[in-house]
Amino acid sequence: MQDKRVKYNCAMNDKSASSRPYEFSGSVAAHYDQYLGPLFFEPYAIEVANRIDPKNINTALELAAGTGIVTRHLRKLLPKESTLIASDVSADMLQIAKDKLKAEDIEWQIIDAQELNFADNSIDLIVCSFGYMLVPDKVKAYSEAFRVLKKGAMLLITTWDKLEKVGASNVYRKIVKKYLPDPIPECYRLPFSMFDENEIKNNLQDAGFTRIQVEKVERLSYSDSAKDATEGLTQGGLIYNEIMNNNPASMDEIKSEVEKQLTEKFGAAPMVAPMSALITQAWK
């Protein structure tokens, strides 16, 4: 059965959904965790953990926790007695995280970053790794983070650099673009829409933050094979549902071409490609 919810969230055809964040659900969540997690997100989860001073953190909130890749590092880093709340808009993503981290002391919640259900000045740290790109009203989301953070507490964000700086994704998206409906759905562009340092700083300042630091960090994305990377890229993101709903017969052709080009550019086994992301720290 097709996952209608993912199609709805990707296309955003209903005006009533225009203020809702994009959601990963169904089989997309599983492919995201199995393939894209190691390929793209684990290296930056380590970078996030390295920028956190765990002292005096009693309550930490993770937004867009997804399948728990950053969550695992946070729980290991933070004091045992601290509260870690891991949240996402997708119950399917969080279920994978819960299953992987069931032995850990973590509170799991479904939360929209634009509407935080916490008291003012109650949180010691907020982390959002590769999530704010998919939030429609970024200033509203930042304002909510500013409201609930304690004085001096930090908001820590990661977002992707320009698409051409993320090698494997760039290969895939150039190929898949030819098979998408016209106009290109918004979910094609969104993951790589927050690369402008000045725009990030301006939006954070509009939300109340005054001390802001943005750093571009280049890393390598590793996959056991170009074939595995292809599985993740083609079936682990929102675009998969656009293809399956509009042009499903093209999927095998897309996979074949993606694997071929990844192999040519970055190797067959292992596949190693460059990537770049922005790490933003903002203090209240």
Q: Is residue 14 part of a domain?
A: no
Domain coverage including residue 31: 22-283
Q: What are the angstrom distances between the C-alpha of 104 and each of 84, 88, 99?
A: 10, 17, 10
- Residue 1 maps to a domain: no
Residue found under tokens 């709340």: 85
Do the Cβ atoms of 112 and 49 come closer than 8 Å?
no
Print pLDDT tens along the chain (284 aa): 233 333 333 544 333 345 555 556 556 778 888 889 999 999 999 999 999 999 999 999 999 999 999 999 999 999 999 999 999 999 999 999 999 999 999 999 999 999 999 999 999 999 999 999 999 999 999 999 999 999 999 999 999 999 999 999 999 999 999 999 888 888 789 999 999 999 999 999 999 999 999 999 999 999 999 999 999 999 988 788 888 888 899 999 999 999 999 999 999 999 999 999 999 999 99
Q: For residue 122, is it within any domain?
A: yes
Asked if residue 6 is part of any domain, the answer here is no
Query: In the chain, how many domains are there?
Result: 1
Kind and range of the H or E run holding 92: helix 91-100
Position 2 in a domain? no
Provide the b/e sequence for 30-56 (b: ≥16 CB within 10 Å).
Answer: bbbbbbbbbbbbbbbbebbbeebeeee
- 192-206: buried (b, 16+ CB within 10 Å) or exposed (e) per residue? bbbbeeeebbebbee
| Any domain includes 45 | yes
59: in domain: yes
Query: What CATH number should be reported for the domain holding residue 201?
Result: 3.40.50.150
The answer as to whether 110 is a domain residue is: yes
Cβ neighbours for 175, distance < 8 A, ≥ 6 positions apart: 254, 257, 258, 261
Confirm if 231 and 31 have CB atoms less than 8 A apart: yes
